[in-house]
Structure 1
Amino acid sequence: MPRPYPDPCPDNRTGDLPAPARTAAHAHQDLRPDTGRSSTVIGPADPRASHHPEALVTRGALHHVELWVPDVTRAEATIGWLLLELGWTEFQRWPAGVSWRLGETYVVVERSPAMAVGPHERTRPGLNHLALHVGGPDAVDALTSAALEHGWTLLFADRHPHAGGPDHYAAYLDNEDGFEIELVATTSE
């Protein structure tokens, strides 16, 4: 089905033109219409990448997630591989990072010069994990098996695939840098 508006950054998908320059300082101030308070909005340096007619975006929907990683190549080999397997497409690329997009949401992995020293630890305050819809249990099992060959390890193996409870079919994966992704069965297949 064709998109109801033009692709915002066609040059980023084809590689014909360089991706927009992007740095850790790519924030701008925005006045929130619901409260009138100012909030910082983080987004790509190219404004075409995130501004679509408001009627086409669900208010409150997730816009993007940005993960600061110690090694972009390693993150691309694990997180990027998994997102591509789930139908995401590469969206942006710059020397310190890459992003993938699915619908109006995108995920960024970036090696920021402003990143604090030390490894990511999912059990500390902050992001614990990302949970992604996969399909039925068979799809979760197939993707989990493939992920183990692409730098992921299975967490909670003794309770898999019901580590989240008896009525929740999922795989919890962890990569070398400590990022966890939950692959969730959303249909009974």
Structure 2
Amino acid sequence: MIHHIELYVSDLEASKRFWGWFLGELGYEVFQQWEDGISWKANGAYLVLVQAKEEFVKAGYHRCRVGLNHLAFYAASKEQVDEMTMKLRERGCRILYEDRHPFAGGSGHYALYTEDPDRIKVELAAP
């Protein structure tokens, strides 16, 4: 079981807007806050965002490099995947693999894929 995941971000405020909304929709609650970071917790696990130092922001992020490719979360249902897809579109967020949505992960995998402000891929998968 995962205890926590910590992500360094290029723009903490933009990331807080995205992740605060997204995680709130999934039942996460703010767990900790400090000047350079914030975390949300649900079911004993938490996600931490920390503002990266300027000298590291310049390097950027790409999910195809060595390291994290994406984070996947459980949805309560297929209906929640559909609702979140609609809400993400309304918020101006990009839905990845639009031509294969909601089966971009395969014919038996009902999910949505989007990305956060740093282009970290985020998956929401139906049970």
TM-score, normalized by length of structure 2?
Answer: 0.92
Name which one, 1 or 2, has greater alpha-carbon Rg. 1
Paired residue for 1:158?
99
User: Cα distance, 1:147 vs. partner?
Assistant: 1.8
2:50 maps to 1:103: no
Paired residue for 1:84?
24
Determine if contact 1:153/1:175 at 8 Å carries over to the other structure.
Answer: no
- Identity, in percent, stands at 39
Which has the higher mean CA deviation after the structures are superposed, 105-114 or 75-84? 105-114
Q: Structure 1 unaligned runs (5+)?
A: 1-60
One-letter amino acid of the structure 2 residue matched with residue 132 of structure 1: F
Structure 1 residues 136 and 115, CA, compared in 2 at 3 Å: closer, same or farther? farther
Structure 1 residues 115 and 145, CA, compared in 2 at 3 Å: closer, same or farther? farther
Which 4+ stretches in 1 moved above 6 angstroms?
A: none
Once the two structures are superposed, what CA deviation does each residue of 1:49-101 show, in whole Å capped at 9, x if it has no partner?
A: xxxxxxxxxxxx10000010001110011122100110000001111111000
2:14 maps to 1:74: yes
Q: Structure 2 unaligned runs (5+)?
A: none
User: Cα distance, 1:112 vs. partner?
Assistant: 3.1
User: Cα distance, 1:151 vs. partner?
Assistant: 4.8
Partners of 1:118 and 1:149 in 2: how far apart?
30
User: Cα distance, 1:138 vs. partner?
Assistant: 1.1
Count, aligned residues: 126
Q: Choose from 140, 144, 149 the match for 2:85.
A: 144
Structure 1 residues 151 and 115, CA, compared in 2 at 3 Å: closer, same or farther? farther
RMSD: 1.5
TM-score, normalized by length of structure 1?
Answer: 0.63
The structure with the greater share of residues assigned to helix is 2
The aligned runs of 1:32-181 (5 Å cut-off) are 61-113=1-53, 116=56, 117-181=58-122
One-letter amino acid of the structure 1 residue matched with residue 79 of structure 2: D
Partners of 1:161 and 1:115 in 2: how far apart?
38
Q: Secondary structure at 1:161's aligned position in 2?
A: coil
One-letter amino acid of the structure 2 residue matched with residue 64 of structure 1: H
Q: Which has the higher contact order (CA 8 A, sep 6+)?
A: 2
